[in-house]
Amino acid sequence: MKHCCPICKKPTDSETDADFPFCSARCRNLDLGNWASEKYVVSDPIFDEEGTSAGDRKTIILDLDESHGYNN
C-alpha cells in the first residue's frame, strides 16, 4: 500500500518500508514524541454511548473492494 509519511510527507510503501506508514525510524519517533507531549489528542466521543441502548444502534457496512479503487 502506498501512502505519504504523516511527518515529512515523503512517499512510503508498505511492501518496502519497514517503518510504514512512516518513511524512517526518525519520523516514527517524532510521531511518538508528538503523542507523548500531548500534541496529538483523541477527540471526545460524538455521542454518549451510555445513553444509547443496544437496540437503537445502527450498523453501516462499507463496500471497500477493488472496484472502488481503495486497494491500490
What would the pLDDT profile of 11-70 be if each residue is shown by its tens digit?
A: 999 998 899 999 999 999 999 999 999 898 887 766 666 665 556 667 777 777 655 454
Position 63 scores a pLDDT of: 72
pTM, rounded to two decimals: 0.55
Matching residue, cell 507523548 = 36
E strand or H helix at 28, and its extent?
Answer: helix 25-36
All cell numbers assigned to 61:
457496512
Domain count, the chain: 1
Residue 4 lies in a domain: yes
Residue 11 lies in a domain: yes
Residue 51 lies in a domain: no
Residue 15 lies in a domain: yes
- Taking the C-alpha atoms of residue 13 and residue 44, their distance in angstroms, rounded to an integer, is 32
Domain span holding position 11: 1-43
- Separation in Å, CA 18 to CA 7, 21, 22, 34, 54: 16, 9, 8, 20, 41
SS3 for 6?
A: coil
What is the CATH classification number for the domain harbouring 22? Answer: 3.30.50.10
